[in-house]
Each structure stands twice: as structure tokens, then as C-alpha cells.
Chain A
Amino acid sequence: MKPEPLLDVAELSKRYVLKPQGSPVARLVRRLKKGPEAAPRLHAVDDVSFTIGRGETVGLVGESGCGKSTLVRLVARLIDANDGSIRLAGQELTHRRARDFATTPERVKIQMVFQDAGESINPRFSAFEAIADPLKRLRGLGGDALRAKVEETATRCGLPLELLPRFSHQLSGGQRARVGIARAISVEPELLILDEPTAALDVSVQVVILQLLEKLKRELGMSYLFVSHDLNVVRLLCDRVLVMYLGKIVETGPAETVFSHPRHPYTKALIAALPDANRPASERVRLAGEIASPVDPDPNTCRFVGRCPLARAECREAMPILEANSSGHAAACHFALPGKAS
């Protein structure tokens, strides 16, 4: 039997209710006809399932707005899901509401590095206080032990100690990002979620952070869910990747294989769009065509249909489901490529 995964996410969905459009009278008529469900819903995360093993690094990639931040916020228990389950080491987390989760003992096991470091750092905290805060609250450290731990963590993240007395606005973008990372790793969570952690980092600091993540994984068995637009970084760091398109996972498999032998046409296009120093910008592939709306999408139409070079009639008749080939490389496409022969 396979060992139990650290994180097991099943059939998770998040829908945002939008303000109805049209005149008040038209809205009233709609309400009377269909009941309260008539308000449009944006399907940010739609029936998503995946697992993360202990010590495993899973990458999450996909177009801007496809629902990556929403998905990781759900997993970090910062927002509540509409449906689905999230189990951490066998324990169901969705029973407790997000706003109560902050005070549960599980909080220390999942930590998150935010996409915009400025958002997560209290502007009235110095860098030192920002890193010390979770150590005080969740690990009960104080005094010299606290100072030592903060300084050790800052150094590990490549943050010079002379910056610790500064406030967030006195730091550069990349320095602030490192405070956000230090804050999250200081309490040594079992699962660390990183939402675009390296976007604000220059290449040299990025290498420091990536090597640090590798080291923490080796030494502490930490697991990561890593959101990034930088496919080169994902390939370097991740064991497995999830490719998302408009709220759904369309491809998943070992990182190396997904990038070398993509099965889904969207993944293929994503890889072809990578900048390449040996190729002029004008030759970079751009996805053309109509992007489907995430608002009340047709449940029986593949979301990629308007932009897909392979689309045919059946793509509008049935939603393709994720199907794995023999090497565990899955794609949700009626015309998925076979992938790498195993």
C-alpha cells in the first residue's frame, strides 16, 4: 500500500458570487424565475483534486487569473471552500472555518509565502518583528532564543542582519520578499506554500532561496506547494507539476516529463511561449482565440476550446477528465498526446 500523503485535496471548488448585471427590474424578474441561484458565479477553482507526499515538491503553473492563488489560499485555510475536502496527515481541515483556523494547533503545520510580500507584512513591524511574530505566537519563543532564531533564519534567507531594524517601506522589493520567506520558514511547517516567491528576487538571491528550500526538504522533510510563472525554476525545484487552466487541473505528472513531453495542448503552448535568447520575440508563440469566461461556464464544454488548435465537436459535448498514462502522467483532453513512452 502506498504511504498516506501529507496533503490530500479532493474535489475542491471555490465560486465567487458576483453582482448580477442588468437593470434592477430585469434582476428582479430573474430572481423570481430562478431563485437566488440567478446571481452569476465565478468558478475560480473547479473540482480540483491532488496530493502532496512528505518531502515532495509540487509545482503549480498556469495563466494569470486561472485560480492558482485562490487554490493555495484554500489549502492554507485562509478562505473557505464551497465544496471538497482538504486532509493534512489524514486530518480533515475543512470542518473549521478559515477565520478560526488561525488559532488551531494545525496553523503551525501549514505556512504560506504570499505573492505580494507587502500584503502579508504589517507595515508597523520592523523586519525583525515580522520574522519574530510567528515564532512568538506559534512556537512560544522569547528573549535570546527568539533573537537567535530570527537572526539565523534571516541569514539562511540571504537577508543581511543590518536590514532587520528597518520597516517594510524602507526595504527594496526583493528584500521584502525575503522577509516574507523567512517569516514562513522560521516555524518549520510541514507544508510550505509559496505563491510566486521568487518573482521579486534577482537571479542570485533566487539561487540562494532555491538551494535553501532543497536543504530544508532534505533536513526536515518539508513539503512544498510552489506556484510560479517561471517554468525553468519549476523544472529545477519540483518533483511533480500541476498545470491549471481556468479553475481546472488540465495536466499533472513528473516535472521532467511534463516539460519534455507535454500531453495537453495548453501545456504545449505554455512551453513554446518561453523566452529564448536565440529566438526573436516576434517568433514566440502567442495563444490566439477567445478565452472562455470563468463566470458560469458550461459544465460540458472543455474550457480551452476557443483557443485550442485541436478542438473538435466532442470538446463542446463533454468535459474531458484527467486520465493518466502508464507512467502516471495525466491530461484532461479528448485528444491528449501519448506523452513519453515508459
Chain B
Amino acid sequence: MASPALLVEDLSVEFRTRGGIVKALERVNFHVAKGETIAVVGESGSGKSVTAYAVMGILDPAARVTSGRAVLGALDLLKTDRHTLAAVRGREIAMIFQNPRTALNPIRRVGDQIADVLLRHANVTPSAAPKKAVELLETVGITDPARRAKAYPFELSGGMCQRVMIAIALAANPSLLIADEPTTGLDVTTQAIIMDIIAERAKATGMATIFITHDLGLAAERADRIVVMHAGHIVEARPTRDLFAAPRHPYTAALIAATPGPTSQLSDLRTIAGGLPDLRAAELPACRYAGRCARRLEGCAAPLPRVDAAASDALACHNPLPQERAA
């Protein structure tokens, strides 16, 4: 295995709220290798963004990391002081946020926002930065980039803001890119262009990419490996082709069955029975999917096997689907 760019081990995160403690992540284990693209998928509220925020060191003040480490090079990001972390963020790790318009500075021109990053993290001189910023806007497919560089975020469409954020993330040449739903606001043609840019960058510089998405079709097309999350747990992680050929965790299979394809009808699509369990419960079951699972057995109350963060396969299930279903 190539050396991991990022190794996350036993990561647990809780939030204090008015209604009680929310156990948003529990012993999350995974890694991403240099040059590799992994896709983190799972239903809304399963902990994908919280995992990214923890790695970036930007969790809500009400959050507490109760266990784990996140190793980038020689650094444990969860134990690093704020100053070092601020330097690492932006230069080594860049993130594209889920809500583009609110993540940009509303009162600064977008060209200046890109130039700021270039000055701080990419050794670009103040005189060259504006021109470089315009070039970056052009790379992400924005027409009339010189004019757009002078626009404020509210003057741009949702998809344009998203592309500005991608330009900002790539400006610093990061070794790890965390992209939280980077293309949800984009039409399919623009989406393909953006994903190509990210893939080219990964290939040219060995950048590792964590790609958070709901779009299983896009994940299948773009990721080397898929990590499936459910209610704060990683339930399955496998190379993309294997996972789609024969999902083994019942939740993964259910997710695939709920995805609309080019020929499906609304009535054929399966919702996943039940909702995510209430993450405030004092005694959450060992398997947080058990309450919704059609394959549940007596033995499912037993603790799940621990997942090895460095392995490329993971399966947290006592009664998985058989291995050769696709054959």
C-alpha cells in the first residue's frame, strides 16, 4: 500500500445541545493514500461533514473529540496547537464546503479572495496574484473571468460560487483536498469539467482527495475506493468496483437500491425503512443500523469487529450479504 496521506483512527466526536449529548461520530477509522481519491457516502446526518470538520480542526465550539487521532505526515491534527493547524490548513489541507455561498466572504470580491490564498500559501508575489486569480477562475470554467473576479458572491450564481471555492481550494496546491459535495449545484457538463480538474491535480501532484457526496453515480465514476457511513459509524469500505458489484453491508445495498437511474420510476425506488437512530440515546445499540435492518439476527447486539484504519477493506456487520452475489 502507498503511504497514507491521512490516517484517521478511532475518531469519536460528541456535541452538547439543549436536548442532550449527540454522539455524532463513534470510533471512525479510515485512511486515504497519496494520489488516491476516496468517496465518503451515506445518508444525510451520518457524520460525513463532521468527520471533515474534525480533520480540519474547525468543529463547532460545542463539540468534543472524545477519542482518536488524525495523522497527516508526522502531525496528529487533533493534538496540534491552533497556530500550527492554521498554517497546515490552507497549505497542506484544503476544503471545499457544502454551502458555497455562505462559506465565501460576502463583502470581498471573489478575485481578491483567491489572491489572498495565493499570497499566503503559494509564494505568489502581490503583483502577480490578481492575474493568477483570474487564470484560476478560467480553469474552473468561468466565462469572462476578468470581469467575474471583480464580482461579489451575491452577484454570482450558486454554481459559480461553488467554482470560486474550488479555485480557492486548489490555489495553495494542497496535499489533501476535502471536497464536501463539490458539485451538487452544478449541471452535469460543468460537473464533469470540475471533476476532471480535481483528477488532473491528483495525478500531477499526488494530491489525496476525500470526496463527500450523496451521488453514488458520481462516486462510482470518480473514486478509487468508497467509504460508507451510517449514523456516525463506518459500515463498509471497499474498492469502488467491488463495492458496486456486490455490496456486503445491508445498508450499502439499500443505498444503491434507492438511487434513481435513467430508467427507474418513482414508485420503484426504495426508501430505506426507518430513520437514523436518535444519536442522543444513552445506550445506542452496537450496530446503529440494526433497528432498520432486514437481516438482523440475535447476535447483532454483540459489539462489532474493530475496523483497521490502514486496511483498504472494512465491513462492520455480523450478517453481511454473501460475497459472490454478483457472480
Identify which of A87-95, A227-235, A329-337 touches chain B.
A227-235
Q: Does B147 contact A (CB under 8 A)?
A: yes
B258-277 residues with Cβ-Cβ distance < 8 A to A are: 258-262, 264-266, 269-272, 275-276
- The number of residues on chain B lying at the interface, defined by a beta carbon within 8 Å of a beta carbon of chain A, is 72
Within the complex, the shortest CB–CB distance from B246 to chain A, in Å, comes to 14
Q: Which residues on A sit within 8 Å (CB–CB) of B193? A: 286
Which residue of chain B has its CB nearest to the CB of A176?
B99
Task: Evaluate contact between B181 and A293: CB separation under 8 angstroms.
Answer: no
A265-316 residues with Cβ-Cβ distance < 8 A to B are: 269-270, 273-277, 280-281, 284-287, 291-293, 295
B173-215 residues with Cβ-Cβ distance < 8 A to A are: 180-181, 184-193, 195-196, 199, 214-215
Task: Evaluate contact between B255 and A236: CB separation under 8 angstroms.
Answer: no
B95-139 residues with Cβ-Cβ distance < 8 A to A are: 98-102
Instruction: Mark B210-225 against chain A: 1 for CB-CB distance below 8 A, else 0.
Output: 0000111110111000
Which residue of chain A has its CB nearest to the CB of B99?
A118
Q: Which residues on B sit within 8 Å (CB–CB) of A173? A: 44, 49, 98-99, 180-181
Q: Does B45 contact A (CB under 8 A)?
A: yes
Task: Evaluate contact between B44 and A202: CB separation under 8 angstroms.
Answer: yes
Within the complex, the shortest CB–CB distance from B316 to chain A, in Å, comes to 19
Q: Which residues on B sit within 8 Å (CB–CB) of A169? A: 60
Instruction: Mark A117-141 against chain B: 1 for CB-CB distance below 8 A, else 0.
Output: 0110000000000000000000000
Contact of B43 among A68, A205, A214, A286 (CB under 8 A): A205
Identify which of B12-20, B74-82, B84-92, B307-315 touches chain A.
B12-20
Q: Does A200 contact B (CB under 8 A)?
A: yes
Q: Does B155 contact A (CB under 8 A)?
A: yes
A147-179 residues with Cβ-Cβ distance < 8 A to B are: 158, 160, 162, 165-166, 169-170, 172-175, 177-178
Instruction: Mark B1-29 against chain A: 1 for CB-CB distance below 8 A, else 0.
Output: 00000000000000101110000000000
Task: Evaluate contact between A236 and B260: CB separation under 8 angstroms.
Answer: yes
Which residue of chain A has its CB nearest to the CB of B24?
A172
Task: Evaluate contact between B187 and A63: CB separation under 8 angstroms.
Answer: yes
Within the complex, the shortest CB–CB distance from A287 to chain B, in Å, comes to 5
Q: Does B296 contact A (CB under 8 A)?
A: no
Identify which of B64-72, B156-164, B297-305, B318-326 touches chain A.
B156-164
CA distance A119 to B99 in the complex (A): 9
Task: Evaluate contact between B44 and A200: CB separation under 8 angstroms.
Answer: yes
Which residue of chain A has its CB nearest to the CB of B98?
A173
Contact of A211 among B17, B266, B278 (CB under 8 A): B266
Task: Evaluate contact between A281 and B101: CB separation under 8 angstroms.
Answer: no
Q: Does A104 contact B (CB under 8 A)?
A: no
Task: Evaluate contact between B185 and A275: CB separation under 8 angstroms.
Answer: no
Q: Does B295 contact A (CB under 8 A)?
A: no
Q: Which residues on A sit within 8 Å (CB–CB) of B259? A: 203
Within the complex, the shortest CB–CB distance from A125 to chain B, in Å, comes to 14
Task: Evaluate contact between B44 and A175: CB separation under 8 angstroms.
Answer: yes
Task: Evaluate contact between B187 and A270: CB separation under 8 angstroms.
Answer: yes
Q: Which residues on B sit within 8 Å (CB–CB) of A277? A: 217, 220-221, 244
Interface centre among A119, A173, A287 (most CB of B within 10 A): A173
CA distance A173 to B15 in the complex (A): 16
Besides the contacts A170-B17, A203-B216, what 16 more A-B pairs have beta carbons closer than 8 Å? A16-B155, A115-B185, A116-B102, A162-B280, A172-B44, A172-B50, A173-B44, A196-B185, A200-B98, A200-B214, A201-B214, A203-B43, A204-B255, A210-B269, A275-B218, A286-B192
Jot down 30 A-B pairs with beta carbons below 8 A, ordered by A: A18-B147, A61-B187, A63-B187, A64-B185, A64-B187, A65-B156, A65-B160, A160-B275, A160-B278, A166-B19, A169-B60, A170-B60, A172-B50, A174-B44, A175-B45, A203-B214, A203-B216, A204-B254, A204-B255, A205-B44, A214-B266, A230-B260, A232-B260, A273-B189, A273-B192, A274-B188, A275-B218, A281-B199, A284-B192, A286-B196
By a beta-carbon cutoff of 8 Å, the part of chain B in contact with chain A is 15, 17-19, 42-45, 48-50, 60, 62, 98-102, 143-144, 147, 150, 155-160, 162-163, 180-181, 184-193, 195-196, 199, 214-218, 220-222, 244, 254-255, 258-262, 264-266, 269-272, 275-276, 278, 280
Per CB-CB distance, the 9 closest pairs between chain A and chain B, nearest first, are: A174-B44, A64-B159, A199-B184, A202-B43, A203-B258, A273-B188, A204-B272, A65-B157, A202-B214
